[in-house]
Structure 1
Amino acid sequence: MPTDEHSLMDHAFEENIAQLLHRQLTGEVLSAAEQQELEAWKNKSVHNAALLQKINDEASIHQLLQTWHNIDRNRAQNKVRFLAMLQPPVVRQPRLRLLRSKIFRYAAAATLLIGIATFYWQQQHPNKPAVAFRETAPIAPGKEGAILTLADGSQMVLDSAGNGLVANQNGTRIMLQNGQLAYNAGGGTSGTIAFNTVSTPKGRQFKLILPDGTSVWLNAASAITYPTAFNGHERTITLQGEAYFEVATNDKAPFKVTAGEATTIEVLGTSFNVNAYTNENNIRTTLLSGAVRIKAYQQTVTLKPAQQAAVKPSTAQLVVHNAVNTDQVLAWKNGLFNFENASLDEVMRQLERWYDIEVVYEKGIPPTRFGGEINKQNTLQDVLQILEGSNVHFQLQGRKLIVMP
């Protein structure tokens, strides 16, 4: 254990490094002595070296800032579209613009220095256990990608496939363009129905357009099964995991989602989110626009925008929640973790799916609740550093994350 004197010296050293990193990121030229001090700090640990590399990589900073801008733009557009359904005469489209470069650079500085801020917190709480994940190789966030399973059982990894024709199923051409799967209907074989499945492993998410024009965003560790052509009087698909739907309108063929053993969601044309992971307590359907009808365990409800139906298989109950925070529900789609009022186990399940890790609890699940949002493009270690501010501690062994009291 270091002495108190050494701890104070380390604290002063790290505080000075934080100032140097901030000055460098905001465009100041450092002296030779200051650059030498940064180099010595970089050589202290793998985490320090990775952080400095982020700051010095102009392309990485630009990509991070563009990601933040896209997140803000998507959230603003989703909110405008939702409010327009409620009060069409009042809502005006907001102007969306990039913040000035200087402001972006300060925001990036704040994000990249989170690790040092966490160090300050630890210095003020000397009795807490030391963090046991900073020296491990960074675990990267998830990315776009999925596996396509064709009707004959053959599989294709879509995140490694190039643009163009992927397959032909009963006359329907399956195309991949810029990471998005789409179906071009053709003359299918009469009386023959072919089903495809798109599944996302942990650490992947994906967008596809179904043969009827419905857009689907799949969250990590999810799967959707559907016919390659909708020829009947209804459009039925099966979902495991989580997905956001923007359904193509067809009054003659209702769109139906089967989730779990007893839940069916029926719509005509609308946008909604379904969370049906098997390790969650409820199957949650959240409506953004239009109307959906939920059927489960001999119960039926019709949702209005901003309502959520929660089906609990363990008790065969169906409950409706009003005035749901749709920003929180759609955070995953818009590049964010939204942990507002989330329990520790809820947070850990999201991290398991996005970073492809296993979470274990050393002594049960602490009764901790969180708040706020975190960019999903952070490494796992960056996210853990933020979460430690709520007095939870972690040990990372490979891809196993141990939660300690």
Structure 2
Amino acid sequence: MKKRALHASYQIVELIRKHLDESITPAENSRLEHWLQAKEANRILFRQLAEKEHAGEAISRFKEIAAERAATFERISSQLTTLPSSRTRFFLFRHWSYAAAATVLLCLGAASLFYFNNSSGPTARPKPAVTVVTDIPPGGNKATLTLANGSVITLDSLQSGTLVRQGNAAVIQLGNGQLAYKKDAAARDAPVVYNIIATPRGGQYQLLLPDGSKAWLNAASSLRFPTAFTGGKRKVQLTGEGYFEVAPLYTGKKKTPFIVEIGPGGGQVEVLGTHFNVMAYDDESAVKVTLLTGAVKVSKGLAGARLTPGQQAQLDKAGQLKVQPQADVAAAMAWKNGMFQFHSADLPAVLRQLSRWYDVDVIYKGPVPSREFEGEIERNLTLSQVLRILEKNQVHIKIEGTQMVVMP
């Protein structure tokens, strides 16, 4: 029954494609008209598809994907039936253009609506709908730069080029969400000053530090750093989440350590030259330092641990430090690679990430649903598209202004 209904929904998608490219026959047009008259939801979806610039191409791609992924669909469906009712997995087809992906998701919505609107009998049970008052786009390259004198520059609205000089460095906007500090030979005797780059909720940014090290900031994060590193240490202060690729630097014949202070009161990470991620949001239960290459030392007070690649240090609110010997590096790095990735994540953990990336608050209208989530979602989707995926696990969420309201 399910396969027949799904096949029928594919036929409807094909009729819509033919209508858009004006190749529909009178008999096919009659079938499409009958489908449109059956439900208001069908008419709404049809109008949405008709307005999409790349609708015809995307619908064709939808049919190709349907054929290519039939076996995968069967496998995932069988896995879902064997999972506990409180747990769900979700997967997205990746590497599409944004417009095509959005349209294909509408096609999938049309397919699922067609199935549930045309199913009958005791086994047919409609899924809960996500009520969308307004949609919210994904985050992007947005940040502010606070200069030594307290003035603030909004980075996302600027063109490429030199913005300002700070201390003995020229501050250069590279475009595509990147800022660089380059030594200015004409100002080599200028005093060292501190700047702060900060991303809002819904923002991310990349920074090239004056020593050649690179830092990526996730949403709702900040990094305080000097315009030049002098003396025997390089020290920066991080809030939120950042990924670092530290360039080796020598003072004489000795390597100069690079220290990330996690503040306030979150310990520190000391490295010489390595790649690592630090997640230190205030609303998370622990600071997590994940090492990709090299070696780092994580410490707070008397507690300390040295990590090797693939390990993760977890520092909780009480100051207890433990090491995860086989960390989920892919999950820790997902945000930098344009993804959300969840492994046995409960609903609040999922919604905290969405809250930061889409700049929305989370409101629970009743008890927090007990759910676990597995899978990955691209961060370039709109919020309503993400919520449609979560909806598959019987989670009622609606968007009200800048709030995600979780319904009982």
Q: What TM-score does the superposition give when structure 1 sets the normalisation length?
A: 0.77
The reply to whether residue 153 of structure 1 matches residue 157 of structure 2 is no
Per the alignment, residue 113 of structure 1 pairs with: 107
1-structure distance, mates of 2:292, 2:226: 25
Shift in alpha-carbon separation, 1:361–1:163, aligned structure 2, 3 A: same
Superposed CA offset, 1:4-57 (max 9, x none): xxxxxx9999775434457789x9944476497599889943x66445444626
Shift of 1:296: 1.3
Which letter does structure 2 place at the counterpart of 1:378? L
Superposed CA offset, 1:147-196 (max 9, x none): 11111111111110001011101231000112310011125465832111
Per the alignment, residue 131 of structure 1 pairs with: 130
Shift in alpha-carbon separation, 1:106–1:148, aligned structure 2, 3 A: closer
1:305 corresponds to which of 303, 309, 313: 309
Which letter does structure 1 place at the counterpart of 2:267? T
3-state SS in 2 of match to 1:340: strand
Gaps of 5+ in 1: 1-9, 62-98
Shift in alpha-carbon separation, 1:316–1:121, aligned structure 2, 3 A: farther
2:270 corresponds to which of 266, 283, 286: 266
Shift of 1:248: 0.5
3-state SS in 2 of match to 1:373: strand
Kept in 2, the 8 Å contact 1:173–1:184? The answer is yes
Per the alignment, residue 360 of structure 1 pairs with: 363
Shift in alpha-carbon separation, 1:100–1:320, aligned structure 2, 3 A: closer
Which letter does structure 1 place at the counterpart of 2:327? V
Shift in alpha-carbon separation, 1:393–1:105, aligned structure 2, 3 A: closer
1-structure distance, mates of 2:143, 2:392: 34
Kept in 2, the 8 Å contact 1:146–1:201? The answer is yes
Per the alignment, residue 229 of structure 1 pairs with: 228
3-state SS in 1 of match to 2:138: coil
Per the alignment, residue 172 of structure 1 pairs with: 169
1-structure distance, mates of 2:205, 2:245: 14
Shift of 1:138: 2.5
Shift of 1:391: 1.4
Per the alignment, residue 240 of structure 1 pairs with: 239
2-structure distance, mates of 1:294, 1:155: 32
1-structure distance, mates of 2:145, 2:330: 29
Kept in 2, the 8 Å contact 1:288–1:326? The answer is yes
1-structure distance, mates of 2:290, 2:276: 6
2-structure distance, mates of 1:301, 1:138: 44
Superposed CA offset, 1:290-338 (max 9, x none): 000001131110001110000002x210010021121111111111111
The reply to whether residue 186 of structure 1 matches residue 184 of structure 2 is yes
Per the alignment, residue 329 of structure 1 pairs with: 332
Shift in alpha-carbon separation, 1:262–1:370, aligned structure 2, 3 A: closer
Which letter does structure 2 place at the counterpart of 1:207? Q
Kept in 1, the 8 Å contact 2:236–2:261? The answer is yes
The reply to whether residue 162 of structure 1 matches residue 165 of structure 2 is no
1-structure distance, mates of 2:95, 2:351: 35
Kept in 2, the 8 Å contact 1:297–1:317? The answer is no
After TM superposition, the structure 1 = structure 2 runs for residues 79-118 of structure 1, keeping only pairs within 5 Å, are 111-118=105-112
Kept in 2, the 8 Å contact 1:174–1:183? The answer is yes
Which letter does structure 2 place at the counterpart of 1:145? K
Deviates more, 1:35-44 or 1:217-226: 35-44
Per the alignment, residue 18 of structure 1 pairs with: 13
Q: What TM-score does the superposition give when structure 2 sets the normalisation length?
A: 0.76
The reply to whether residue 391 of structure 1 matches residue 394 of structure 2 is yes
Per the alignment, residue 64 of structure 1 pairs with: none
Which letter does structure 2 place at the counterpart of 1:192? P
Per the alignment, residue 71 of structure 1 pairs with: none
Shift of 1:143: 1.0
Shift in alpha-carbon separation, 1:204–1:312, aligned structure 2, 3 A: same
Shift in alpha-carbon separation, 1:299–1:22, aligned structure 2, 3 A: farther
Shift of 1:213: 0.7
Shift in alpha-carbon separation, 1:243–1:105, aligned structure 2, 3 A: closer
Aligned identity (percent) is 38
Superposed CA offset, 1:83-129 (max 9, x none): xxxxxxxxxxxxxxxx999xx99988754534235534697664765
1:369 corresponds to which of 362, 365, 372: 372
Gaps of 5+ in 2: 60-93
Which letter does structure 2 place at the counterpart of 1:144? N
1-structure distance, mates of 2:348, 2:46: 29
Shift in alpha-carbon separation, 1:100–1:356, aligned structure 2, 3 A: closer
2-structure distance, mates of 1:278, 1:100: 33
Higher relative contact order (CA 8 A, sep 6+): 2
Kept in 2, the 8 Å contact 1:118–1:386? The answer is no
Superposed CA offset, 1:252-274 (max 9, x none): 32000011314100000000000
1-structure distance, mates of 2:238, 2:352: 19
2-structure distance, mates of 1:56, 1:140: 19
3-state SS in 1 of match to 2:372: coil
3-state SS in 2 of match to 1:384: helix
CA RMSD of aligned residues (A): 3.5
Shift of 1:216: 0.9
Shift in alpha-carbon separation, 1:117–1:343, aligned structure 2, 3 A: farther
Kept in 1, the 8 Å contact 2:225–2:236? The answer is yes
2-structure distance, mates of 1:182, 1:161: 14
Shift in alpha-carbon separation, 1:145–1:100, aligned structure 2, 3 A: closer
3-state SS in 2 of match to 1:342: strand
Per the alignment, residue 203 of structure 2 pairs with: 204
Kept in 1, the 8 Å contact 2:260–2:270? The answer is yes
2-structure distance, mates of 1:274, 1:100: 27
Kept in 2, the 8 Å contact 1:54–1:60? The answer is no
2-structure distance, mates of 1:204, 1:60: 29
Kept in 1, the 8 Å contact 2:49–2:55? The answer is no
